[in-house]
Amino acid sequence: MPDYSNPIMSASDDVDDTDPALPVSVLDCAIGRGVKASDGDLFTGADIEAVGLPFFGGCQCCAASIACYNAYPSQTGYLRCRDCIGEIGFPTTAAFEEWCKANDANPVDDEDDYRTTNDVGSN
């Protein structure tokens, strides 16, 4: 029987994965746009990109590699990771869509997708 008496993280470590202040993730926004899973319950990169959002990206601040479930759109127009999003994420998917409209960013079917750090320096 495995020994669980020495876990890597103790119960006293302050880990809160249910922080209600977390902004919406790219996945939340994709769901808000009605993304359809092409493979059962799993969303593929193509599914996410079909609604005009990136599946993979890089954090604007720390360059961490992030995917739709842990990438947060920020009001800079770039993605940020959970550690770097701070107060500049979007509280709701509706707020994100409003920002996109106001900034002419990433309307669905437009070629100008929401930017990621992968785009920095391109062109």
Question: Which positions lie near Zn ion, rule CB under 5 A?
Answer: 59, 61-62, 64, 81, 84
Residue with tokens 């940020």: 80
Determine the 3-state secondary structure of 38 from DSSP.
coil
Closest CB to Zn ion among 75 and 97?
Answer: 75
Q: CB of 119: closest distance to Zn ion in angstroms? A: 16
Q: CB of 78: closest distance to Zn ion in angstroms? A: 10
Q: CB of 60: closest distance to Zn ion in angstroms? A: 7
Closest CB to Zn ion among 29 and 71?
Answer: 71
